[in-house]
Amino acid sequence: MKVELTMPLIKRLTLDQRPTGVDAHGNLVFAANPSKKDYIVYDANQEAPPGFGVKIARKKTFIIRRKIHGKSIMPTVGNVADFMADGGKAPLTLARSKAAAMALEMVETGQNPNESARKAVAAEVTLEAVFKAYREHMRTRTVKPASAETVRVIDRAINKFKPWGWLTRKVKEITAEEVKAKFLVGRDIYPVANEQAFRWASAAIAWHMGTEALNAAAANRSPMLKANPFTILVIDKMYPTMQQKETIYKEGKKRNPLSPKKTLGPFLEAAWSKGQTNDNLTGVHFLIAMLLWGCRKSEHAQCQWGELLDADQKKVTSHVAFGDDEYGDHVFFYGTKGGKNHRLPIGPMSVGLLRLRQTAAKDEALKRGFASHSRSYVFPARNKFSKTGHYINPDELRHAIMEEAGIERLTNHDLRRTFGALMTSLQVPEVIKGTFFNHAHATVSDRYTEAEWDELRSWMTKIEQAILLTAPNVYNALKPTHWPPIAAPEPHVCKPQKPRTGRPKKTTASSTVAV
């Protein structure tokens, strides 16, 4: 169908009906289009280049069709709505002008201009563009979308390349030798983070190349990006083996779990004392919960009180629950690092800790108001202006406790490693270990049979007791009331807080006493 296009006519065209001809008065005749099949109406206006028209589909688009060397080429000129929103010349005038330029390019090159543009973009893609596209893919993919923590890890990897100016560089211009040289520099300074950053870069480029290869195959052309410079690290075996990593961790003292015989008890006793001063209670409970549950800080930080959630909210929200009909007292982590949900039983002394948290939560609600964003969280943020509403970073508090307990090295993740070391000393079966640690390779679910759940609860109680028996004062504070207390030394007393440095307070005339 070829008629003189106008914007009112284009707006009138729909998939419900399609034009079939012109009546005696020159008006278009329409017929039903029950299959809603796409169709094209070509422009008969003298200003329009031959082959210019509008395609009516789910979206209306201007097109230009030419036959070059016996092959029909029909690129899209643009979305009709975009031309209407331009605000300059009349939409049809703009579209006809652009189509004419594209027609000339097709005649000169014999290629689809849109495909040429896509090829140019694929060839000129920067490392930052690849990273951002891969990050978005990981975050939004249907199967196992990346957790918030994984997205943060990718962001940290991206930032590693920023100081070198690599993010704005085209991937095709980064050489294998450059990759090797930069990798060797970082390997000696921060081996773990260095390897992680380069592996993420390699994965992002590999994903981009896979997507580009599919696009190239569909367009019957060769892929524009043909090599991943980061694969040289695999080819030359530059990534450390697991044995080498363990040696690095040991020599560099990167992994320092608390020792049940030496440091675990002093750490807990010092932490418990620290919780009684300077609004540290939430942070202390946060750290002790990490020890008792063996979890990552990103998992339990977001926990909310189950009784404040409805049944649907509980399915998609990390929370703690008391007296659940199916699982009893437990904690549920939603969308963990491995992309899986994770349900854990909690022992009687964890329940004691959480009951203390509830008391603190009531005080917090009275202080900040029951409508406070932080009220629903087990570990609320100390700052009422917090965007998340929950506690996030215990680093400063952890260092203060380390100083009190005389511990030189300890990371947040070392608390999780401490839980693992206790499991090993108690000879916890490997399948139970994998379940508690929620490792990506373990077969872990948030659904269990009654027998499986009973076994998990039994082991969790044993681990909990093994941890807290090293700190008698903490044990006695958290044990159920019907349990007998154990002999305990005098509670740890924290050193007086050092006065804060800074300018001295201003004195006023009224506060000055004449002598």
Q: Is residue 13 part of a domain?
A: yes
Is residue 327 located within the same domain as residue 225? no
Distance CA 357, CA 285 (A): 8
- Overall domain count for the chain: 3
- Alpha-carbon Rg for the chain, nearest whole angstrom, is 33
Is residue 473 located within the same domain as residue 404? yes
Nearest to 170 by CA among 178, 182, 159: 178
Q: Is residue 315 part of a domain?
A: yes
Does residue 230 contact residue 452 with C-beta atoms inside 8 Å? no
CATH number at 283 reads 1.10.443
Q: Which of 86, 111, 136 is the last residue of a domain?
A: 111
Contacts 24+ apart (CB under 8 A), 89-96: 90/7, 91/7, 92/5, 92/6, 92/7, 92/43, 92/45, 93/47, 95/52, 95/62, 96/43, 96/45, 96/47, 96/48, 96/49, 96/52
Distance CA 446, CA 456 (A): 12
Task: Report CA 99 to chain centroid distance, whole Å.
Answer: 43
Is residue 380 located within the same domain as residue 473? yes
Is residue 30 located within the same domain as residue 174? no
Model pTM?
A: 0.60
Is residue 229 located within the same domain as residue 275? no
Is residue 202 located within the same domain as residue 305? no
Residue 327 has, within 13 A of its CA and on its CB side, a CA count of 22
The per-residue pLDDT string of the chain (515 residues; one tens digit each, 9 = 90 and over) reads 888 899 999 999 999 998 888 888 778 889 998 889 999 999 999 889 999 999 999 899 999 998 877 788 888 888 998 888 765 568 898 999 989 988 888 887 777 776 655 555 545 789 999 999 999 999 898 887 887 878 889 999 999 999 999 999 999 889 999 999 999 988 777 778 889 999 999 999 999 999 988 887 876 777 878 899 999 999 999 988 766 665 655 555 556 789 999 999 999 999 999 998 878 999 999 999 999 999 988 899 999 999 999 999 999 999 999 998 889 999 999 988 767 888 999 999 999 999 999 988 777 767 766 556 778 899 998 777 788 889 988 999 999 999 999 998 899 989 999 999 999 999 999 889 988 988 655 555 557 788 889 999 999 999 999 999 999 999 999 999 999 999 999 999 888 776 666 555 555 444 444 43
Q: Which of 228, 251, 274 is the last residue of a domain?
A: 251
- How many degrees, rounded to 5, is the angle at CA 253 between CA 419 and CA 498? 85
Is residue 106 located within the same domain as residue 130? no
Is residue 336 located within the same domain as residue 471? yes
- Which burial class, exposed, middle or buried, applies to 286 when counting CB atoms under 10 A from its CB (0-12, 13-18, 19+)? buried
What residues make up the domain containing 62?
Answer: 2-111
Q: Is residue 514 part of a domain?
A: no
Q: Which of 77, 111, 145 is the last residue of a domain?
A: 111
* Residue 38 confidence (pLDDT): 92
State whether residue 53 is helix, strand or coil.
strand
* Residue 25 confidence (pLDDT): 78
Distance CA 330, CA 457 (A): 9
Q: Is residue 116 part of a domain?
A: no
Nearest to 127 by CA among 62, 175, 56: 175
Q: Is residue 491 part of a domain?
A: no
Is residue 246 located within the same domain as residue 268? no
Is residue 466 located within the same domain as residue 431? yes
Distance CA 453, CA 450 (A): 5
Is residue 336 located within the same domain as residue 451? yes
Q: Which pairing describes strands 66-68 and 60-64: parallel, antiparallel, or unpaired?
A: unpaired
Distance CA 289, CA 246 (A): 27
Q: Cα separations (Å) of 343 from 151, 272, 321?
A: 22, 27, 11
CATH number at 199 reads 1.10.150
Nearest to 301 by CA among 138, 475, 147: 147
Q: Is residue 170 part of a domain?
A: yes
Identity of residue 171: V
Q: What is the 3 state secondary structure string of 244-279? A: HHHHHHHHHCCCCCCCCCCCHHHHHHHHHHHCCCCC
Q: Is residue 246 part of a domain?
A: yes
Q: Which pairing describes strands 28-32 and 71-73: parallel, antiparallel, or unpaired?
A: unpaired
Does residue 130 contact residue 91 with C-beta atoms inside 8 Å? no
Is residue 233 located within the same domain as residue 295? no
